[in-house]
Amino acid sequence: MTAPTPAAVAAHWPVGEVRAVTPLGGGSINAAFRVQAAAGTFHLRVYRDPQRGRAEREHRAVRLARACGLPTPDLSVTREGGTLARLGNHWAALFEVAPGAPVPRSTLHPEHAAGLGALLADLHVRLPGAAPFAVPALAPPADVTTTLARLRAVETAILALPHPDATDGWALARTRQRLAHLRRAPLPDGPCPLARRFVHGDYHDGNVFFSGGAPVSIIDWEQPRLAPRAWEVVRCLHLSLRLDPALGGALLRAYRERLPLPAEELRLGAALYATLQERTVWVYESVYLHGNPGPRAFIRPPPYVPFPQAWASSGMR
């Protein structure tokens, strides 16, 4: 996505002269830019979704989180008095720069994991169980037949690439392994008995900024949802810590020091997460069917390991 011009940013936000708009990496869905202006440095988010509803929901979640005392950057108000502006064909928002910085996943250690656990518990304590605005519920897992069809479409798209690279090869191998698993031994469908509540929805190490080994801010409230809190805990254990027993143990201990989490509740959260992981095709569809290169960063080498197997090996409970 082409960077907006300084003049375009200055036309919408009262930040004085805009000296530079610099692209930032790391966004898997939206585009991000650093804005250097007379009033300071800001973070510009340009949304890929042409509909403004998702961005408006994120802004309501940010305001709610800040009202609950959570450390998340505030939004800048536009000259028109709102928080969204039209830049070319996209909606955009200007945020304060979050203090601290993300820690590279490969360098996370138990102190960082404990910080992730403590902050996540704090979110679950401070945030209300229900938000005063519409929030989607965590979608149930797709059925096996639908998932098989979606994976076959991805397989076809990868095979049609004129010049596949190593990442494309990983994606093809993992897609075929998932197809074989779903044909042979899919997880059973069934309702989850856990209560749903308002959660961040995309809590992981990339959205938590650290300073001196401790978390100091959390960003990206674009995917809030109603979901079991144990699902969000397990998701972070998997995405951020790769179910590493030492790191995961540190996260769970810190979480439980702040907020009780019974082993049975965690087990049920892991079971729900496992079925969702088995049926999720979002990364590959985004890359190979929708032309969004951002999620390529999430494609890992084979083999595909069903989540229940990885969870059991971690020994976490």
Tens of pLDDT, residue by residue over 284-297, are: 999 999 998 889 98
pLDDT score, position 94: 98
Within-domain flag for 169? no
134 and 55 in a single domain? The answer is no
Within-domain flag for 173? no
- Confidence band for 2, pLDDT divided at 50, 70 and 90: confident
pLDDT score, position 29: 78
Within-domain flag for 147? no
pLDDT score, position 269: 98
**Distance between CA atoms of residues 119 and 125, nearest Å:** 10
24 and 90 in a single domain? The answer is yes
**Distance between CA atoms of residues 117 and 146, nearest Å:** 35
Within-domain flag for 315? no
pLDDT score, position 208: 98
| CA–centroid distance for 177 within its chain | 25
What percentage of the chain exceeds 90 in pLDDT? 95
Mean pLDDT, residues 171-175 taken together: 98
Please say whether the beta carbons of 9 and 21 come within 8 A.
yes
- Provide the mean pLDDT of the chain: 96
**Distance between CA atoms of residues 207 and 43, nearest Å:** 14
**Distance between CA atoms of residues 186 and 182, nearest Å:** 5
Domain of 245: which CATH number? 3.90.1200.10
234 and 129 in a single domain? The answer is yes
Within-domain flag for 275? yes
Mean pLDDT, residues 163-178 taken together: 98
Number of separate domains in the chain: 2
* Cis? peptide before 50, omega within 30° of 0: no
**Distance between CA atoms of residues 65 and 119, nearest Å:** 13
274 and 127 in a single domain? The answer is yes
136 and 260 in a single domain? The answer is yes
**Count of C-beta atoms within a 10 Å radius of residue 280:** 17
250 and 214 in a single domain? The answer is yes
State the burial class of residue 112 (Cβ atoms within 10 Å of its Cβ: 0-12, 13-18, 19+). buried
Given a cut of 90, whether residue 26 has pLDDT beyond it is no
Beta strands in the chain (DSSP E): 18-24, 31-37, 40-46, 85-87, 90-96, 197-199, 208-211, 214-218, 225-227
- Confidence band for 27, pLDDT divided at 50, 70 and 90: low
Within-domain flag for 1? no
Given a cut of 80, whether residue 134 has pLDDT beyond it is yes
92 and 206 in a single domain? The answer is no
pLDDT score, position 28: 63
pLDDT score, position 294: 84
Lowest-confidence segment of 167-171, 189-193, 219-223, 275-279 by average pLDDT: 189-193
Domain of 87: which CATH number? 3.30.200.20
Where among 42, 70, 96 does a domain terminate?
Answer: 96
Within-domain flag for 14? yes
Mean pLDDT, residues 161-185 taken together: 98
47 and 134 in a single domain? The answer is no
Closest CA to 51 of 77, 13, 89, 23: 89
195 and 272 in a single domain? The answer is yes
Mean pLDDT, residues 8-13 taken together: 98
Within-domain flag for 250? yes
Given a cut of 80, whether residue 235 has pLDDT beyond it is yes
pLDDT score, position 25: 75
Where among 36, 61, 96 does a domain terminate?
Answer: 96
Closest CA to 310 of 232, 242, 250, 235: 242
118 and 84 in a single domain? The answer is no
**Residue ranges making up the domain that contains 81:** 6-96
Where among 70, 96, 122 does a domain terminate?
Answer: 96
Given a cut of 80, whether residue 275 has pLDDT beyond it is yes
Span 106-131, pLDDT tens digits: 999 999 999 999 999 999 999 999 99
20 and 86 in a single domain? The answer is yes
124 and 54 in a single domain? The answer is no
